[in-house]
Amino acid sequence: MTPAERERTSTARIATVQIKTGQIDWAALTDRVLACCADIAACTEVPGQITRTFLCAPMRDVHARLGSWAAELNLETQVDAGGNWRAVRRSADAAAPTLIIASHLDSVPNAGAYDGVLGVVLGLALLEAQGAVPLPYHVELVGFSEEEGVRFSVPFIGSRALIGTADVLLDLADTQGQTVAQAITAYGLDPAELDAARFVGEVLGYFEIHIEQGPVLEAEGRAAAPVSAIAGQARLNLSLTGKANHAGTTPMGLRRDALTGASELVLAAEELARQTPGLVATIGSMHVLPGASNVIPGEVQFTLDVRHAEDAVRMEALSKLLKRAEQIATERSLTFASELRMEERATPMDPGLGALLAAALEAEGRPAAPLVSGAGHDAMLVGQFWPAVMLFVRSPGGLSHHPDETVLPGDVEVALKVGTRFLRLLADQGR
């Protein structure tokens, strides 16, 4: 959606959605979701683009926009010490468990309007769609303060606060030297109260709606799909070292060319991933030294990213690639080194909640074949503590982390209807 389109949408049908004789006006509610996303897109650190990092000043405006809608629904709201915006709809049964609906409110630099934000705004719309219908569980809507890892190079600060593991991040510093603790204080919050941000109580489940950020749903002609698992991932820094020498005077048979060795590994990674269902392997960054057109590359520093929904498959693939790298180094008289930079284990979604979400899709006449998420999400962490489920919404063009990221209004309406059915199916199950 272009800035002009966002502006038009933000002024269209922004008033509270009216319920038509016991039926929900889905088109009006969809318009309101899109208008709210457009309003939040205007909350940015960088004029002319969408950029929101952890607890930046514009996040106050985001909280205010969400809070205005929440007030209409009589929700209890707060911003916790981790910077998470939270809104609660209480069940009549004070002892009832809680369904957490959540996604994130921060962005990458020069982002789109829907990554993360759509899930939070849809959460408000789902609660509006419930109207006065009682639920046998509490609902807590959370807009996480941080998921992207932009400001402090570590992701999931918001969801870590919710599950009680963010305290170890307080001394991390950004590029300006400000720590997480100082950023929390500068926002007017108290890092000493971070432990109080941890959710305490019985959790019925965690539900996150997110744009797919990929091309599969569009290729299959589907508006939405349940997620079966979030792929585990390993990220490594690799290097191959040979010997730099004159490009004109060194015969081919006497060269120790690090770049040709690295190129061989690039193709080996591609071949293995193509032959292994569900595996993706990427060498996305490469630094060639000394980097002159007339010098044989003496060293190559590069990255490797390997992901799969099953950790055993991912780990086996990684082992094969590292062994292949050693073989290449031996064959070409190079030295190979590797450093594991980050590893996250795969997170399967809860089968019970997944079955209810699939039933909700099918009740709306939609196929329920699940997708694996190759990208990380807050559900990746939260799902290790509580039962979690995700719904993906189609990303036109497979585009995300880009200003042209968009959604189709019809797909948003499908997500609203499916999410509403899911909440009611969950309620029926508990009775």
274 burial (CB, 10 Å; 0-12 / 13-18 / 19+) is exposed
Mean pLDDT score of the chain: 94
31 burial (CB, 10 Å; 0-12 / 13-18 / 19+) is buried
At residue 344, the pLDDT reads 87
At residue 23, the pLDDT reads 84
At residue 4, the pLDDT reads 42
Please count the other Cβ atoms lying within 10 Å of the Cβ belonging to residue 351: 10
- pLDDT per position as a tens digit, 225-241: 999 999 999 999 999 99
List the beta bridge partners of residue 76. Answer: 88
What are the extents of the domains in the chain?
A: 3-231+346-430, 232-344
Q: Compute the distance between CA of residue 119 and CA of residue 208 in angstroms, rounded to an integer.
A: 6
- pLDDT per position as a tens digit, 15-72: 344 434 358 999 999 999 999 999 999 999 999 999 999 999 999 999 999 999 999 9
CATH architecture of 232-344: 2-Layer Sandwich (3.30)
Q: Compute the distance between CA of residue 310 and CA of residue 232 in angstroms, rounded to an integer.
A: 7
Query: Which residue matches tokens 């690639």?
Result: 321
Query: Which of 100, 92, 146, 90 lies closest to 123 in space, CA to CA?
Result: 100
Return all residues near 57 (Cβ < 8 A) that are at least 6 apart: 45
- Percentage of the chain beyond pLDDT 90 is 92
Judge whether 357 and 422 are in contact, CB under 8 Å.
yes
Q: Compute the distance between CA of residue 82 and CA of residue 280 in angstroms, rounded to an integer.
A: 33
Question: Class of 3-231+346-430 per CATH?
Answer: alpha beta
- Percentage of the chain beyond pLDDT 70 is 94
At residue 65, the pLDDT reads 98
Return all residues near 212 (Cβ < 8 A) that are at least 6 apart: 225, 371, 392, 393, 394, 395, 398, 400
- pLDDT per position as a tens digit, 77-106: 999 999 999 999 999 999 999 999 999 999
3-231+346-430 and 232-344 share one CATH topology?
no
**What are the residue ranges in the chain where pLDDT is below 50?**
1-21
